[in-house]
Amino acid sequence: MAGRIIMHIDFDAFYPSVEERERPEWKGRPVIVGADPRDGKGRGVVASANYIAREFGVRSAMPISRAWKLCPHGIYLRPNLPLYVKVSYDAMSIIRKYSEKFQQLSIDEAFIDVTGKVKDFEEAGDLAEKLKREILTKEQIGSSIGIGPNKLIAKLASDYRKPYGLTIVKPEDSRKFLSPLPVRKLIGIGPKTEAALKEMKIDAVEQLAKVDVKILTEVFGKFGYRMHEMALGIDDSDVSEEGEIKSIGKELTFEEDVDDPQTILQALVDLIEEFHPELSSSGMQFKTVNLKVRYENFETHTRANTLGHYSNDMETIKKVARNLIQPFLDSGRKVRLVGVRVSGLRFGKNQKTLKEL
Ligand code: TTP
Ligand code: MG
């Protein structure tokens, strides 16, 4: 099989860029989207800062009070997520036209597989320049593009030169490109794994690539194998929206069948509290809450309620789930299993951060 050519597109300083296009007079000024700085006394964090604000040291996830100290003359804005979602949708529609093999990763990133569209990496580069220009002209949003033989390399490449960058990594250059990168750049390696690797004297991908895969699987289990593959630049995953998460939730079978409404309700609330962090960290929002109840005789019922809007709020899930389960509690019958899940998912990135603003 001939090699693939994959592109990863990531919009530059996405939230501030959307704000700036509405206000051309802000050109050249630092723009910071996030919590209310309240003259330096505000709580919460920066969602994103434009590249001018970044020159003052302002970064995503930094306390807004610190941003204020670094850049008191900046323009500080509360996030307008519905607007960002709309602009994201319009810009993603442009990207989709370049290949039917499309996969959106978050509110501001997507992959396309252009293997069948171009004859080589040079031509892919020309196509990427055209795509960047089209998004900029039609949506006034800058973007950076990475091109590589797979999704792993394409994503790392788009991050390599920003803003408005284009980085092409051919298959034969993949190892050289990956070698100096810090291991934390690899998908799934967060602060904890990074610290564990540091203990093993592994900082850069180059060092990770040299470690025996057996050692990695001993320490990290199955993920150790994936780490080894990534370090070698291997990623066979397809550019496809199929197989993506369609719903998030949990269910519980009681040790003994229960008819006490309080016990059942508490179990439901616990389930929601257990899976909600997964929803938050996925950056997804839901539209529908689904309930499942199984009586002692295995008779199983499902109920669903679709909201008029997208949400990622835990209290909303609890409220809707309570309403859905009420008739079952009223029945007085013994329950064997309860389950709750949210579906109708879409990206509404970093809602958790937004809620904390
Ligand atoms: P990113 O693509 O990580 O950041 P960015 O687009 O602002 O900047 P760049 O890509 O040029 O480095 O995230 C996209 C949007 O997601 C960002 O504009 C705001 C939001 N976001 C948060 O709300 N909190 C965060 O901690 C991060 C990283 C992003
Ligand atoms: Mg971005």
Q: Which ligand 1 atom sits nearest the alpha carbon of residue 15?
A: 18
What per-residue confidence (pLDDT) applies to 130? Answer: 98
| Local structure of residue 1 (DSSP, 8 states) | -
Q: Is pLDDT above 80 for 4? A: yes
Better-predicted residue by pLDDT, 312 or 16: 16
Quote the CA–CA distance of 305 and 324 in Å, as a whole number: 8
What per-residue confidence (pLDDT) applies to 283? Answer: 67
Average pLDDT over residues 226-254: 90
What are the pLDDT digits (tens) for 33-78?
999 999 999 999 999 999 999 999 999 999 999 999 999 999 999 9
Q: Is the CB of 48 under 6 A from ligand 1?
A: yes
Q: Which ligand is nearest to the CA of 14?
A: 1
Q: Is the CB of 14 under 6 A from ligand 1?
A: yes
Q: Which long-range contacts (CB under 8 A, 24 or more apart) does 323-329 make?
A: 324/289, 324/291, 325/264, 325/265, 325/268, 325/291, 325/293, 328/264, 328/293, 328/301, 329/261, 329/264, 329/265
Atom 10 of ligand 1: nearest residue by CA position: 12
Tell me the pLDDT of the chain averaged across its residues. Answer: 93
CA dist list (Å): 119 to 126, 209, 239, 342: 11, 31, 19, 43
Q: Is the CB of 235 under 6 A from ligand 1?
A: no
Query: Quick check: is 109 catalytic?
Result: yes
Q: What is the band of 350 on the pLDDT scale with cuts at 50, 70, 90?
A: very low
Q: What is the band of 246 on the pLDDT scale with cuts at 50, 70, 90?
A: confident
Q: Is pLDDT above 80 for 243? A: no
Q: Is the CB of 179 under 6 A from ligand 1?
A: no
Quote the CA–CA distance of 186 and 156 in Å, as a whole number: 8
Quote the CA–CA distance of 49 and 52 in Å, as a whole number: 8
Q: Is the CB of 350 under 6 A from ligand 1?
A: yes
Better-predicted residue by pLDDT, 245 or 323: 323
Q: What is the band of 282 on the pLDDT scale with cuts at 50, 70, 90?
A: low
What per-residue confidence (pLDDT) applies to 353? Answer: 38
- Separation of 76 CA from ligand 2 center, angstroms? 19
Q: Which domains does the chain have, with CATH numbers?
A: 6-11+81-173 (3.30.70.270), 16-77 (3.40.1170.60), 179-231 (1.10.150.20), 247-356 (3.30.1490.100)
State the amino acid at position 26 in one-letter form: W
Average pLDDT over residues 15-21: 96
Q: Which ligand 1 atom sits nearest the alpha carbon of residue 350?
A: 23
Better-predicted residue by pLDDT, 124 or 2: 124
Specify whether the backbone of 329 is left (phi greater than 0), alpha (psi in -120 to 50) or beta: alpha
Four-point Cα dihedral 197, 202, 204, 205, nearest 10 = -80
Q: Is pLDDT above 60 for 351? A: no
Q: Is the peptide bond before 163 cis (omega within 30 degrees of 0)?
A: yes
What are the pLDDT digits (tens) for 136-174?
999 999 999 999 999 999 999 999 999 999 999 999 999
- Separation of 80 CA from ligand 1 center, angstroms? 14
Q: Which of 132-141, 199-208, 233-242, 296-305 has the lowest mean pLDDT?
A: 233-242
What per-residue confidence (pLDDT) applies to 201? Answer: 95
- Separation of 47 CA from ligand 1 center, angstroms? 7
Q: Is pLDDT above 50 for 195? A: yes
Q: Which of 109, 122, 123, 274 is labelled catalytic?
A: 109
Nearest to 261 by CA among 337, 323, 330, 339: 330
- Separation of 14 CA from ligand 1 center, angstroms? 6
Q: Which residue of 8, 51, 62, 108 sits with most ligand 1 atoms within 8 Å of its CB, as the best mutation to test the pocket?
A: 108
- Separation of 354 CA from ligand 1 center, angstroms? 12
What per-residue confidence (pLDDT) applies to 105? Answer: 86
What per-residue confidence (pLDDT) applies to 348? Answer: 61
What per-residue confidence (pLDDT) applies to 163? Answer: 97
Atom 20 of ligand 1: nearest residue by CA position: 47
- pTM for the complete prediction? 0.77
Could you give the count of Cα atoms lying within 13 Å of 40 in the half-sphere of its Cβ?
Answer: 6
